[in-house]
Structure formats: C-alpha cells, structure tokens
Amino acid sequence: MTRKLLAEFLGTALLVCVVVGSGIMAQQLSPGEVGLQLLENSTATVFGLGVLILVLGPVSGAHFNPVVSVADWWAGRCQRSGLTGAELPGYLAAQIGGGVAGAVLANVMFDLPAWQISTHHRVTGGHLVGEIVATAGLIAVIFALARTGRAARSAAAAVAAYIGAAYWFTSSTSFANPAVTIGRIFSDTFAGIAPASVPGYIAAQIVGAALGLAVVGVLYPAPTPAENISHPDHPKDSAHR
C-alpha cells in the first residue's frame, strides 16, 4: 500500500507539474497568443500523462484522480474488485497532496514564488457543462477499457488522447480531476484557477463521473474479455456470416 500511495502522490504531482509548467512556458514563449499557448500546454499534457500511466500504472493503477478512484471503488464494491473502502481515503489524500506539490514545484522551476494563489476566475454555466462532459468522457473511456480487458495495453494512449482532445472541444479545457483542480489553485499563471471557481468545477466533475459510470454500466453491464468483443474482422464473427 505504501508503494501505491507513493505512486499516486508522484504521478499526480508530476501531472500537475506538467500542466502548470507547460502553461508557464507557453506564456513565456508565446505571449499574447492564447490559442498557441493552449496548443503547447495540451501537447505537453498529452505526452506527460501517457508516460506517467505507463510508468506508474503497474504500481497503483495510475488513477491520479479522485473521481477515478471513487468510481473504481464504487464499481467494484459488489464484486470485491478495485479499491477497497479502507484504501480509498489514502488514494484521495495522496492525489490531492501530490496536486499541490506539483504546482509548487512548477512555480519553483520557473523562478516564481513557490506559494501563490491564482486569480484566474473560470466559472460560467458553459464551463461547468464542459467539466461534466469532460469528466463523463474520461470515466467512460477508462472503465470501458477496464470492462473489456484492454486497459493494460491501451489506457496510456487512449486516456492521453481523450484528454488532449477534450482540451479543445470543451469550454473548460478539461480539468476533469479534483486533485489537479485543487493543485492549480496554487499557480497564478495560464494554467491556474481561482479558489472561488474550484467548488463549481469539482461539483461538475462529480456529476460527470456519475454520468460516465452510468453509461458504462449500461453499455458493459459485466466484464467482457477483449477477445470476445464483436468486430467485423474477428474470425469468430466471420464464421457466422
């Protein structure tokens, strides 16, 4: 359990460090070019997230996200799979602590005050809808892969790709993660979020996670081995045509 919690702390810290650090670098390299800054920020996040999942996934499952951990506990509570109720609080604490540490580390790397509070207010009705959509999609991707036995080989690419896309198609730029949201309070830069905006974002993320898990429950009511999934080119299907 100690190894798992360390992996979750490090993974969340480095994820937030990537998000905040690339946001700071984007501001410095492309001042005034908001679209280009978002491209630079999202590209670094996609690559960083994919690598972190590959490296730390075998240790802790690479949740790095409280709503993923809660969904994992909720979905597996009847079958006694996933996180247990005893493990869940440790995961949440490690992720939130890691998120704050990652923002502070990014500030220090760029010679900014280590401890700062964002003044970037983000809450509008559209942003909250964007967070619901972003989080629902993220949970659906993760648990659809898990239910079909493809998480081990596909999660890093699929999750990173989804987050990269959601940066651009959601109005909120896809925080989709309470630990990352809390961590980004502590950076008054391009990637920051003002404390007053955080409760709305986290509430939207919780709603989105519930919706995403509900969709997966309907589409995949029981775990299905990947080799049994119907596919036009699958030899089993061809034999029946």
Cα-to-chain-centroid distance, residue 145: 15
Residue 186 half-sphere exposure, CB side, CA atoms within 13 Å?
23
pLDDT at position 230 is 39
- What stretches in the chain show pLDDT beneath 50? 226-241
Distance of alpha carbon 195 from alpha carbon 119, whole angstroms: 8
Domain ranges, ordered by start, for the chain: 2-227
Query: CATH 3.40.50.1820: does it fit domain 2-227?
Result: no
State how far the Cα of 236 lies from the Cα of 228, in Å rounded to an integer: 9
Nearest to 168 by CA among 47, 63, 80, 36: 36
**Residues 6 or more apart from 24 whose CB is under 8 A from it?**
106, 107, 110, 112, 187, 189, 190, 191
Q: What local confidence, expressed as pLDDT, does residue 154 receive? A: 94
User: What is the phi-psi region of residue 189: left when phi exceeds 0, alpha when psi lies from -120 to 50, beta otherwise?
Assistant: beta
Scan for tokens 């410095």, then name that residue. 28
pLDDT of residue 240: 37
pLDDT of residue 79: 66
Query: What is the residue-wise DSSP string for 171-236?
Result: TT-----HHHHHHGGG--STT---GGGHHHHHHHHHHHHHHHHHHHHHH-SS---GGGS--TT-HH
In contact, 29 and 82? CB cutoff 8 Å? no
How far apart, in whole angstroms, are the C-alpha atoms of residue 70 and residue 96? 13
Using alpha carbons, list the distances in angstroms from residue 166 to 39, 173, 188, 239: 12, 6, 23, 39
